[in-house]
Chain A
Amino acid sequence: MDQERITLAHGAGGQKTAELIERLFARHFQNPDLTADDAAVLSLGGTKIAMTTDGFIVSPWRFPGGNIGELSICGTVNDLTCMGARPRYLTCAFQIEEGFPLRDLDAIAASMAETARACGVTIVAGDTKVAGRGQVDGCFITTTGIGELLPNIRTGGALARPGDDVLVTGDIGRHGSAILLARDSYGIEAEVTSDCAPLWPMMEHVFAALPQGDALHTLRDATRGGVGTVLYEIARESGVGIELRAEAIPCAPAVQGLTGLLGLNPLYLACEGRLVLFCAPAVTDAVLAALHETREGAGATRIGTVSAAPAGRVSLITELGTRTLLPPPTGELLPRIC
């Protein structure tokens, strides 16, 4: 460890991030409540709550379909949502670069307030730090959230079971594509907007529509590493295999075109408004019907199933009907995507 340094791969949400957490943070912070899930589930005086925190350093701070302020609320709200918790209170901490325009900060705060209102959370505390020019790039935001666990819902990355259906709540890879295009590194122009959205209203509707909440086994929002990284995490945590049908994976033509041109796999491009959902096949139709009644879940679809073996692997049934391995995440993703 003496010679090692932090590389961008440590922040990409893949293998290297997992190693860093396991070997360094978890070693120091180890306790029974420390979680590998999106949020920790805790008991406070008999009340069950979920708690999580998330930092946002996206560049550029404004992109088609959203901005860092909206993103900072969505990220934390969505993490609480994935644990089956109703998001209630948020705090936010700003690290701002000297010289950052006040009107941009105003736009960011306005978007945060609007997004928070849309999902019924209140921002109850904050912190402001300013660093010298060049010591921070623009504006970084960290949000922390507390949510109230719904009764009868128990989800987790280790709870997927053989036989489960795998659903995704809409087309994939939008956020990563929008950021790529907004950076203008490639001289490519295409109409792609970020999928950035708070998903509590969508899932609140699904939770209410389901007679048995325990038929929903795993919910996870596909952020940095995209849907592919989330599927590999769940396959490992639950000790199951996942089989996808390549033709069933929803992806907008513009995203397909962009990823084809750049040699990227849309399964590994970031989303900021999509959940991956594992449920018992008996409730798949009901879950999909409920999702389709919401704006954010209108494009929800079944993309695959869970098998007992090979554990820890994600495979694809290709358009030729053959089975291939989904190449595991490499961590060579784009830095500062969220």
Chain B
Amino acid sequence: MEQKTDTRRALAAAREIVCTYRGPRLRIMEVCGTHTHEIFRLGVRALLPETIELISGPGCPVCVTPVSFIDEACYLARECGVTLCTFGDLVRVPGSSGSLADARSRGARVQVVYTPLDAVTYATDHPEEDVVFLSVGFETTTPASALAMKRASAQSLKNFSLLTANKTMDAAYLAMHESCDAYLYPGHVCAITGARVPRALTARGISGVVAGFTASELLTALAVIVKSAGHAPFFANCYPRVVTEDGSPAAQALLHTYFTPVDAEWRGLGVLPQSGLAVAPAYAQFDARVRYRIPPQEGRSNPACRCGDILRGACTPADCPLYGKTCTPEHPVGACMVSREGTCAAWYQYRGAAPASFS
């Protein structure tokens, strides 16, 4: 009970600081899809003075996955007859010629799993099928893909591999920092990497705070940004109950063992050097690109779709000619409309065609 009162008091104090901000224009980018969703769910924007702008960054792994990745997956299902195991969201992301759902309706084997280990189990139970897990995600989900390789390796599994599009956040922080004055760093990613990764960015003039996900944690993080803005580059860990300075050494070790950094394409941001993770050479038997020699895929997206600009914070969904018309959660054209955490999907869910008072 006492704790609840403390939380309420902290929330009220933080709210006061944020609401009464009268300084110069402040652009804050949340880099995490869960933050985007919670900010909408809590109606945080309605509290902010006009001078504070919240920009939704590239924090949803489905949204930043390039079209060519979906094309590679479709190629594997179509030309190599493999069974694809994938997180549910990816099934609906449009590729150059249709989504995996379309491929499935034409006979491709697409299996939805909840963790990469489920894909290993599926491969074990179906030795007659060649199973490829579509491995996407940031530092939070990639360790589970590493665990999948560890288990497959221990079982000497011959019919299991990964098509990787895993990414790391630090390259994105560097690539995007001119779009904003401060970051709300992603709490879960920082729980893995440790607070020292974003803290080190202050030396390069990049400011931000690590934020949690409750109303009180989000408002406190915003209040710290408001208080610190306009001075030297700053960093604060406002999610200390989960994020430590060094993060999770066990998860980091898994990443280093089973993955190796590579240049990677981010939808909307282009190729960012050393921002991706591919299967480490020592485990090349689990690399679907090596095993199936997938030819380069073109990756054509709908030219009118502005997901790329939206991911950079250069425009809002309302500026896109497709948003809410041909592109809806039922029929997504761009990736940002697919995942619940995508910016367009969050806008659509919480704004719909509602009057401006719903923000």
Contact = CB atoms under 8 A, between A and B. Distances in A.
B349 A318 contact: no
18 contacts: A185-B114, A186-B114, A187-B114, A187-B115, A263-B340, A318-B42, A319-B215, A320-B42, A320-B47, A320-B215, A322-B44, A322-B47, A323-B46, A324-B43, A324-B46, A324-B350, A327-B349, A327-B350
Interface stretch (B24-32, B77-85, B122-130, B351-359): B351-359
Interface string B209-226: 000000100010000000
Contact of A322 (B46, B114, B340, B355): B46
Interface string A157-190: 0000000000000000000000000000111000
A320 B355 CA distance: 20
B167 interface: no
Given A320-B15, A324-B46, 14 more contacts: A187-B115, A310-B355, A315-B358, A318-B215, A319-B42, A320-B44, A322-B47, A323-B357, A324-B42, A324-B358, A325-B349, A327-B350, A328-B349, A328-B352
A325 B358 contact: yes
Interface in B68-84: none
Interface centre among B43, B114, B219, B352 (most CB of A within 10 A): B43
Interface in A296-324: 310, 313, 315, 318-320, 322-324
A186 B88 CA distance: 13
B183 interface: no
Contacts of A328: 349, 352
B94 interface: no
A330 B42 contact: no
A330 B15 CA distance: 33
Interface centre among A187, A263, A327 (most CB of B within 10 A): A327
Contacts of A325: 349-352, 354, 358
Contacts of B300: none
What are the 6 closest A-B residue pairs judged by CB atoms, nearest first? Answer: A322-B43, A327-B349, A324-B43, A322-B46, A325-B358, A318-B42
Interface of A: 185-187, 263, 310, 313, 315, 318-320, 322-325, 327-328, 330
B43 A330 contact: no
Nearest to B219: A320
A323 B44 CA distance: 9
B137 interface: no
Given A185-B114, A319-B215, A330-B330, A324 B40 contact: yes
Contacts of A310: 354-355
A328 B351 CA distance: 10
A209 to B, nearest CB: 34
Contacts of B329: 330
Tell me the interface secondary structure of chain A in the complex: loop
Interface string B183-216: 0000000000000000000000000000000010
B358 A318 contact: no
Nearest to A331: B330
B43 A320 contact: yes
Contacts of A319: 42, 215
A324 B215 contact: no
Contacts of B357: 323
A315 B350 CA distance: 10
B18 to A, nearest CB: 10
Nearest to B339: A263
Contacts of B158: none
A327 B42 CA distance: 12
A96 B198 CA distance: 60
Contacts of B47: 320, 322
A327 B40 CA distance: 10
Contacts of B351: 325
A79 B43 CA distance: 36
Interface string B162-189: 0000000000000000000000000000
Contacts of B355: 310
Nearest to B214: A319
B91 to A, nearest CB: 12
Nearest to B341: A263
Contacts of B349: 325, 327-328
Nearest to B45: A322
B114 A318 contact: no
Contacts of B358: 315, 323-325
Contacts of A263: 340
B22 interface: no
A312 to B, nearest CB: 10
Interface string B90-117: 0000000000000000000000001100
Interface string B276-298: 00000000000000000000000
Interface in B3-50: 11, 15, 40-44, 46-47
A99 to B, nearest CB: 23
Given A323-B46, A324-B358, A330-B330, A318 B41 contact: yes
B55 to A, nearest CB: 19
Nearest to B41: A324
Contacts of A186: 114
A179 B46 CA distance: 37
A262 B352 CA distance: 23
A251 to B, nearest CB: 15
